[in-house]
């Protein structure tokens, strides 16, 4: 009897050692991304891994999964099978759902058309193709909101089961959470009646400058003009209104183009944002720098010079736009 028990124990130890070696011994399949469909059983998964030469045998894989108590717990998605790997690592990935995360980036200053193009990317289900902007906003639950400027620019990570609208919902929530927080803490006595107006102003600031030190000053110029009921006269709004009619350089006829976004023709803010504003532009719009400046002109070096009077502005235009920067 003792010999029998000793034999059973020895056989068990040998089997355990073999299973241990099977689980942790590194395999060398070609590294690739493996897609695990919804509803796949552990046996079907093991059989497919064997067909792809990722594992050597199906039954030991199933025994290991059973011993780990995970024989039916598979999370669908894409998995990256590194080189080398081992069976235990594969099991942990699919049981814990360590799926591949893909990035998509929305850039500050983009229009919604550019956002739509960015969302047409690999592994993301394009469920907005062919829809109008209004239909897209209705699909994410905000049918009465303009799509322009409505989404926070950032890098978003998603899995192979994600849709374009799921990214848009996340970006919308982030934008409006930050907008609401900045609106609650805004400077006193701004000539802005709503968070929507603050968002529009932030989009103008975003398109005018990328310099951290200038955003609040440019916002201050726009605020001064709004208070005085002066036209904002900001070129990015004209360019936005021109759409495909813009050819790279604004002309006199462009500045006379009849559009609700032409801030040379209309006093006040345009009807919607013209771009995605980032967090610094949002903050600047609601915390503008107190300044007496009413004008600014680009220097050609990535910045601007500011003027208090039209005469001073005219001199700066001659210096920087007509003759080039010194």
Task: Give me the count of residues in the chain.
Answer: 326
| 230 CB burial (10 A radius; 0-12, 13-18, 19+) | middle
pTM: 0.82
Given a cut of 80, whether residue 142 has pLDDT beyond it is yes
Between CA 198 and CA 292, with CA 252 as vertex, the angle to 5 degrees is: 40
Domain coordinates of the chain in residue numbers?
16-96, 102-178, 188-322
Q: How confident is the model over 9-23, as a mean pLDDT?
A: 45
- Residue with the larger pLDDT of the pair 6 and 240: 240
pLDDT of residue 31: 56
pLDDT of residue 138: 97
- Tell me the CATH number for domain 16-96: 3.30.1490.480
Given a cut of 90, whether residue 140 has pLDDT beyond it is yes
Q: Does the N-terminal peptide bond of residue 84 adopt cis geometry, omega within 30 degrees of 0?
A: yes
C-alpha closest to that of 22 among 90, 83, 78, 73: 90
Q: How confident is the model at residue 224 (pLDDT cuts 50, 70, 90)?
A: very high
Question: Is the distance from CB of 219 to CB of 186 less than 8 angstroms?
Answer: no
- What is the residue whose two structure tokens read 């919308």? 172
């Amino acid at each position: 009897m003792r010999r029998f028990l000793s034999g059973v124990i020895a056989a068990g130890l040998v089997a355990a050692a073999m299973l241990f070696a099977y689980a942790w011994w590194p395999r060398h399949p070609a590294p690739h991304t493996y897609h695990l469909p919804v509803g796949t059983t552990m046996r079907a998964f093991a059989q497919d891994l064997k067909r792809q030469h990722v594992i050597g045998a199906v039954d030991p894989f199933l025994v290991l999964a059973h011993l780990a108590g995970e024989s039916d717990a598979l999370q669908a998605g894409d998995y990256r099978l590194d080189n080398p790997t081992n069976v235990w690592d594969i099991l942990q990935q699919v049981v814990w759902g360590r799926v591949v995360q893909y990035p998509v980036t929305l850039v500050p200053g983009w229009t919604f058309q550019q956002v739509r193009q960015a969302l047409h990317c690999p592994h993301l289900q394009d469920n907005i193709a062919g829809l109008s902007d209004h239909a897209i906003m209705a699909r994410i639950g905000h049918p009465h909101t303009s799509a322009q400027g409505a989404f926070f620019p950032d890098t978003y990570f998603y899995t192979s089961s994600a849709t374009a609208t799921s990214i848009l919902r996340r970006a919308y929530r982030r934008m409006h959470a930050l907008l609401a927080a900045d609106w609650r803490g805004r400077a006193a006595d701004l000539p802005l009646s709503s968070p929507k107006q603050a968002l529009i102003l932030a989009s103008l600031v975003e398109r005018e400058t990328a310099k951290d030190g200038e955003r609040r000053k440019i916002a201050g110029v726009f605020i001064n003009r709004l208070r005085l009921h002066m036209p904002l006269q900001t070129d990015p709004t004209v360019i936005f209104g021109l759409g495909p009619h813009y050819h790279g350089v604004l002309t006199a006829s462009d500045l006379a183009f009849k559009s609700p976004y032409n801030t040379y023709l209309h006093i006040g803010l345009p009807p919607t944002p013209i771009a995605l504003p980032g967090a610094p532009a949002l903050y600047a719009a609601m915390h503008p720098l107190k300044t007496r400046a009413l004008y600014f002109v680009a220097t050609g070096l990535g910045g601007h010079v500011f003027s208090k009077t039209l005469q001073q502005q005219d001199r700066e235009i001659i210096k920087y736009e007509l003759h080039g920067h010194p």
